[in-house]
C-alpha cells in the first residue's frame, strides 16, 4: 500500500513540528508541513497530498477560506480542520460548509489523529460524529439543505452531499433524539 501523504498547514512552527514528530512512527504516513503564508495552494498543487491538516485560524486570513481554496483546487485532497480551542457549533457549521472530512481539537492525541487520517483515507467522514453530538448544528445543516431545495439550487454544489438516509438521521438528531432511538426507528445498528 502507498503511504498516505499528509500536509500540515499551521502558523505555529512548533505545532507543525510536533505533529510531524508525533506521527513520525506511523509507517503508513508521509509527512510534510507548511506555514499558511508560504503559498500552501501552490504546495498542495505540486505535492498532491492525500490529506491536509489545516489550522482554522491562520494569521492574515481565514482557515475556512484556505480550506475552500484547497477543496476547489484539489478536490481529491481530504481536509481535516483543526481548532485551537474546544469545538463549537458555529465553527463546526463552517467546517461542514468547507467540505472537511473531520473536525478536531489541536489537543487530540497522536494516536487518535492517526486513526482519523486513516478513516478519512478510507472514505469515512468522522465529522459526522461531531454533528451527531450537536443537535443545533444538525438542525442548521438540515435547514440549509431544505432552503437550497426550496430555492431550486442544485445540491451537487456541496462537496459531500447527504444521502436520503443521512438526511433522515440528521432530521432525527436535530429533533434531539438519541442514537438508540434513531437506530430503532430506522432499523439500523446504533453505530451506523
Quick: pLDDT tens for 114-125: 999 999 999 888
- Of the candidate ranges 19-33, 67-81, 135-149, the one whose mean pLDDT is the lowest: 135-149
Mapped onto helix, strand or coil, the DSSP state of residue 70 is: helix
Higher pLDDT, 178 or 44: 44
The residue assigned the cell 514528530 is: 21
Give the number of other CB atoms < 10 A from CB of residue 29.
20
- Classify burial at 139, counting beta carbons within 10 Å of its beta carbon; exposed 0-12, middle 13-18, buried 19 or more: middle
State the DSSP H helix or E strand holding residue 40, giving kind and residue range, or none if neither. helix 40-47
Which residue ranges make up each domain of the chain?
A: 4-130, 134-186
- Classify burial at 189, counting beta carbons within 10 Å of its beta carbon; exposed 0-12, middle 13-18, buried 19 or more: exposed
Question: How confident is the model at residue 15, as a pLDDT?
Answer: 93
Rounded Cα distance, 169 and 157, in Å: 21
CATH of domain 4-130: 3.40.50.2300
Q: Which residues contact 33 (CB under 8 A, 6 or more apart)?
A: 7, 8, 9, 10, 16, 17, 19, 20
Please compute Rg for the chain using Cα positions. Answer: 17
Question: How confident is the model at residue 95, as a pLDDT?
Answer: 84
Please write the tens of the pLDDT for every residue from 54-82. 988 755 557 888 998 998 888 899 999 99
Question: How confident is the model at residue 51, as a pLDDT?
Answer: 97
pTM: 0.70
Amino acid at each position: 500500500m502507498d503511504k498516505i501523504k499528509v500536509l500540515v498547514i499551521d502558523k505555529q512552527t512548533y505545532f507543525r513540528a510536533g505533529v510531524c514528530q508525533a506521527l513520525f512512527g506511523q509507517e503508513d504516513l508521509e509527512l510534510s508541513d507548511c506555514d499558511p503564508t508560504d503559498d500552501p495552494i501552490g504546495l498542495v498543487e505540486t505535492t498532491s497530498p492525500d490529506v491536509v491538516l489545516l489550522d482554522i485560524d491562520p494569521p492574515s486570513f481565514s482557515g475556512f477560506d484556505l480550506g475552500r481554496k484547497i477543496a476547489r483546487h484539489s478536490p481529491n485532497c481530504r481536509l481535516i480542520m483543526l481548532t485551537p480551542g474546544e469545538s463549537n457549533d458555529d465553527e463546526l457549521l463552517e467546517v461542514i460548509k468547507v467540505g472537511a472530512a473531520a473536525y478536531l481539537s489541536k489537543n487530540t492525541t497522536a494516536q487518535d489523529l492517526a486513526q482519523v487520517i486513516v478513516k478519512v483515507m478510507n472514505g469515512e467522514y468522522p465529522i459526522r460524529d461531531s454533528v451527531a453530538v450537536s443537535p443545533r448544528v444538525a438542525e442548521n445543516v438540515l435547514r440549509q439543505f431544505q432552503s437550497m431545495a426550496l430555492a431550486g439550487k442544485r445540491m451537487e454544489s456541496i462537496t459531500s452531499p447527504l444521502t436520503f438516509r443521512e438526511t433522515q438521521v440528521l432530521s432525527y438528531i436535530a429533533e434531539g433524539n438519541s442514537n438508540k432511538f434513531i437506530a430503532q426507528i430506522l432499523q439500523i445498528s446504533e453505530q451506523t
